[in-house]
Amino acid sequence: MTYADVYNGWKNDPEAFWMEAAEAVDWIKKPSRALFAEDAPIYEWFKDGVVNACYNAVDRHVENGRGEQAAIIYDSPVTDTKETISFTDLQSRVSLLAGGLVAKGVVAGDRVIIYMSMTPDALVAMLACSRIGAVHSVVFGGFAANELATRIEDATPKAIIASSCGIEPGRIVEYKPLLDDAIELSAHKPEFCVVKQREQARASMIEGRDYDWDAFQEGVSAADCVPLAGDHPAYILYTSGTTGQPKGVVRPTAGHIVALNWTMKNVYGVNPGEVFWAASDVGWVVGHSYICFGPLFHGNTTVVFEGKPVGTPDAGTFWRVMEEYKVTSFFTAPTAFRAIKRVDSKGEFLKKYDISSVRALFLAGERADPDTIVWAQDHMKIPVIDHWWQTELGYPAIANPFGIELQDVKLGSPALPMPGYEMAILDDDGKPLPAGELGAIVAKLPLPPGTFNTLWNAEDRFRKSYLDAFPGYYETGDAGYIDDDGYLYIMARTDDVINVAGHRLSTGGMEEVLASHPDVAECAVIGVSDQLKGQLPMGFVCLNADADRDAADVCKECVKLVREKIGPVAAFKLVTVVDRLPKTRSGKILRGTMVSIADAKPYKMPATIDDPAILDEIKVALGTLGYPAKT
Ligand code: COA
Ligand code: AMP
């Protein structure tokens, strides 16, 4: 079948397409149909089916003869550990942890927050929740206590499962004190916590609230998979929006299984039994979909890698892992390749390893710059596939369907829509724009199975953020254009979200933190281009008239504050004090113009600017931060 056959097959009969994809799933009760549109524009998929995600990820493979196959390969250069876990072993670990949760009263629908480092235990915790229908919400370890507290308040979990620490190159990040602070800060308190003690930093426990991971499971009965309705929320994953309050993306169970399973073969081109590796973190959607669930649903071996592309111990670490485990398909963010290229531009490390098992490299999470793609193509000598998706969508919407039929690669474009997606470019009034014209990127409703269907506890915000602006369409928040061949080009965000090393962050959230500094009168945070991380946040702060402070001291305090309140992952290190911010006459800060100046891009003097002279002051301030950067 060609890509055109598959795409048109879906377009002509979406219902039949998704019902056929659903055949690959083991149902407790098959759904009577795929789409439930009664509450449009809120859509449900496979709602009357009964299913269990953990059963599809683990148990069915044991029953179907894959018990001895590796389910998870853990490779941790930062702790010098390697471990292989078979599907049988995974089944027993997951059902025991699930048994512990059940013994403590966790039932289907209860929320469980998971705050863990990149170890197989994080996957065990996610799967244990899925097994009993508990709605997990994984929080990335690089977020600070305050961010964790926000998520605890919103998700109101019955339990929290945490690692005692995470390991970053050169330092151990103790998670448990962050967890304790977060619980202290939150109005909602979990009934109990389960802590996996890692030997690099053992956590102190609070009697009566905290349980040791191993002791917690002793003597409990293993829990079975619980039958769940197709629309049961599998998980909540918080992602950055325009404000500091993150959006809790809700993923219904049945669509999640059907769609991820479909992508493994059709997008990524892997067969059951092969080794799939996504070098990301379980705290992100890539980790949910392609470290944990997707490969396991499909009977693949997944690699859990605890390290960085460089420095753990060197720029050859990715190639070593590919060779050692015969990885067939590899997925990461372009920033990881930029990091490798920066220290090993000639690819000397690659020459030491045999990566012939790898059939394709997939890049997503941020714009894949042509230089990086070409470098990867030249050195790896395999197709390099840029593909586009979002936390909200859960899996690739725009891709080059490697598993169906590889299409021409056009540098700078993640290529073509996958079945389920009909994309359009609209102007501000919602009018479709012709090929080549820049506008808001939208997808025609309904979104396909496996995408989100609401925001946790915030249906109004869901409608406002995604559905209201362009009735009949999902608003992606990205701007771009479609060319004459139907290829999509992603150019920018239309909101205050930036992308730092493939991590989605809110500049609005950072502004809220800076505004809380007692000497700051007003502030602006913008995303400026960075050769390694794609974008970096940059802050401009105006001090209160009566603040008799040294500007450098305030800047240091601002950096510390963002690290404390949001976390190191924000990579907020560039900040300067200015007298005034450039604004329109109606008082809107001209962030876009500031970005253009910082990135040395041409810009038009905004007609509505209040005082053009302020831009000269901004240029001087940027100069002190080394911007525009020399390339
Ligand atoms: N727990 C605690 N801290 C963490 C963390 C975690 N799980 N993950 C990152 N951090 C910290 C880092 O130590 C760093 O702190 P520092 O300011 O003290 O150095 C900060 O958060 C920023 O981390 P990161 O963005 O990862 O930058 P880095 O300089 O450590 O590494 C790259 C840069 C490019 C190597 C790295 O970002 C990378 O490998 N990215 C791969 C792509 C990826 O994972 N994308 C996710 C979506 S697909
Ligand atoms: P996240 O929800 O963290 O996956 O971030 C999604 C956002 O990352 C998208 O809305 C885009 O802005 C950006 N993004 C993801 N993949 C790509 C890509 N292949 N090209 C350009 N931008 C991308």
316-335: per-residue pLDDT in tens? 999 999 999 999 999 999 99
Model pLDDT, residue 479: 95
Which H/E stretch holds residue 221?
A: none
Average confidence (pLDDT) over 12-29: 98
In the predicted structure, residue 111 carries a pLDDT above the cut 70: yes
Which residue type, as a one-letter code, is found at position 274? E
Rounded Cα gap, residues 480 and 489, in angstroms: 5
Kindly tell me the number of DSSP H helices and DSSP E strands found in the chain.
20, 32
Nearest to 181 by CA among 218, 225, 149: 149
Model pLDDT, residue 202: 98
Beta bridge partners of 74: 83, 304
Cβ-proximal residues to 219 (8 Å cutoff; 6+ apart), any chain: none
| Mutation choice for ligand 1 from 176, 308, 344, CB with most ligand atoms inside 8 A | 308
pTM over 0.85: yes
User: For the sheet containing 423-426, what is the strand order?
Assistant: 423-426, 439-444, 473-482, 488-493
Q: How far is the CA of 365 from the centre of ligand 2 (A)?
A: 4
Model pLDDT, residue 442: 98
- Ligand 1 atom with the smallest distance to the CA of 567 is 21
Ligand with the closest atom to the CA of 163: 1
For 431-479, the pLDDT digits (tens) are: 999 999 999 999 999 999 999 999 999 999 999 999 999 999 999 999 9
The length of the chain in residues reads 631
Model pLDDT, residue 241: 84
For 575-611, the pLDDT digits (tens) are: 999 999 999 998 999 999 999 999 999 998 988 899 9
Ligand with the closest atom to the CA of 390: 2
Model pLDDT, residue 204: 97
Model pLDDT, residue 500: 96
Q: How far is the CA of 391 from the centre of ligand 2 (A)?
A: 9
Cβ-proximal residues to 464 (8 Å cutoff; 6+ apart), any chain: none
Backbone angles phi, psi at 319, to 5 degrees: -65, -40
Query: Is the bond preceding residue 396 a cis peptide, omega within 30 degrees?
Result: no
Model pLDDT, residue 630: 76
| In the chain, % of residues over pLDDT 70 | 100
Rounded Cα gap, residues 99 and 297, in angstroms: 22
Nearest to 228 by CA among 309, 129, 159: 129
What separation, in Å, do the N-terminal and C-terminal C-alpha atoms of the chain show? 45
Domain architecture of the chain: domains with CATH: 87-226 (3.40.50.980), 501-624 (3.30.300.30)
Query: Residues with beta carbon inside 6 Å of ligand 1?
Result: 141-142, 166, 168, 173, 280-281, 284, 286, 308-309, 332-333, 335-336, 339, 365, 501-503, 568-569, 571
Q: What is the rounded average pLDDT for all residues in the chain?
A: 97
For 519-558, the pLDDT digits (tens) are: 999 999 999 999 999 999 999 999 999 999 999 999 999 9
Model pLDDT, residue 629: 87
In the predicted structure, residue 631 carries a pLDDT above the cut 70: no
Can you state the angle between helices 507-515 and 551-565, rounded to 10 degrees?
120
- Ligand 1 atom with the smallest distance to the CA of 140 is 7
Q: How far is the CA of 302 from the centre of ligand 2 (A)?
A: 23
Query: Residues with beta carbon inside 6 Å of ligand 2?
Result: 239, 285, 364-368, 386-388, 390-391, 414, 476-478, 490, 493, 499, 504
| In the chain, % of residues over pLDDT 90 | 97
Coil, helix or strand at residue 268:
coil
List Cα–Cα distances, 539 to 210, 493, 594, 624, in angstroms: 39, 18, 11, 13
Model pLDDT, residue 31: 98
468: Cα separation from own chain's centroid: 24
**Confidence class for position 243, pLDDT limits 50, 70, 90:** confident
List Cα–Cα distances, 575 to 537, 565, 621, in angstroms: 9, 16, 9
Rounded Cα gap, residues 85 and 83, in angstroms: 7
Cβ burial of 352 (10 Å; 0-12, 13-18, 19+) is exposed
- Ligand 2 atom with the smallest distance to the CA of 363 is 19
Q: Is the separation of the CB atoms in 499 and 231 below 8 Å?
A: no
For 24-63, the pLDDT digits (tens) are: 999 999 999 999 999 999 999 999 999 999 999 999 999 9
| Mutation choice for ligand 2 from 290, 367, 481, 496, CB with most ligand atoms inside 8 A | 367
Q: How far is the CA of 451 from the centre of ligand 1 (A)?
A: 26
**Confidence class for position 69, pLDDT limits 50, 70, 90:** very high
CB count in 10 Å sphere of residue 197: 17
